[in-house]
Structure 1
């Protein structure tokens, strides 16, 4: 380990005394001082873990349902409940509008549940 840059990259550099006599030096680096520099972002480990979890079969099915459930709610809020634009300014006012919108959407959903006829067992 050498340093961490302002951009959040950790720099690792090889020992030139060990690399100087290595038979694989030409495949590893072309530098004149026989050093290899590797940069790795501080969050890269987390990104690798996310990439690994993305390919698990259970997570694939959950993510496939996301467009039918979560994304649909935000699309309805945007199209049917005026969340595309706002005339309000400030975090408190926008939070209030968003909460009232989602309360209204939840009430509509609950009303639809009560109108469904009970299923016979």
Structure 2
């Protein structure tokens, strides 16, 4: 990581929320000409947080904008969205009569397990 003055932000720690923290050297930043646009902290230290899987997200975004990614995205309506449409129409998943997140989660898992078991039987 680099700041606007091309100084290296060194790795500091990984938080419990899955963020990596990169911090600048406050002695260098105290005399920096870009200090006002970079940070407003009292100790003149820039802190940048990045998710630990940020590189994977960037690779996925690069693939999504490539020609191959655009071609596979057009098939989404035929595969992924079709499953949810069938769940709503054929398996009564528009509404739930259950209360509580755990009960609804278990109900949905049971429905999708039944849908997955139904696929091979229809192919045979």
* CA distance, structure 1, for counterparts of residue 112 and residue 19 of structure 2: 35
Q: Say whether residues 1:36 and 2:46 are aligned partners.
A: yes
TM-score, scaled to structure 1:
0.66
**C-alpha distance after superposition, 1:19-77 (max 9, x if no partner):** 11111111111111110011111011111111111101221111111212443355446
* CA distance, structure 1, for counterparts of residue 76 and residue 112 of structure 2: 23
Match of 1:46 in 2: 56
* CA distance, structure 2, for counterparts of residue 26 and residue 16 of structure 1: 14
Match of 1:9 in 2: 19
Aligned-residue CA RMSD (Å): 2.7
Q: Would the alpha carbon gap of residues 76 and 104 (structure 1) be closer, same or farther in structure 2, given more than 3 Å must change? A: farther
Listed as ranges, the gaps of 5+ residues in structure 2 are: 1-10, 97-105
TM-score, scaled to structure 2:
0.65
- Secondary structure at the residue paired with 2:20? strand
Listed as ranges, the gaps of 5+ residues in structure 1 are: 108-121
Structure number with larger C-alpha Rg: 1
Moved over 3 A (4+): 73-80, 82-85, 93-100
Match of 2:81 in 1: 71
Alignment length, in residue pairs? 101
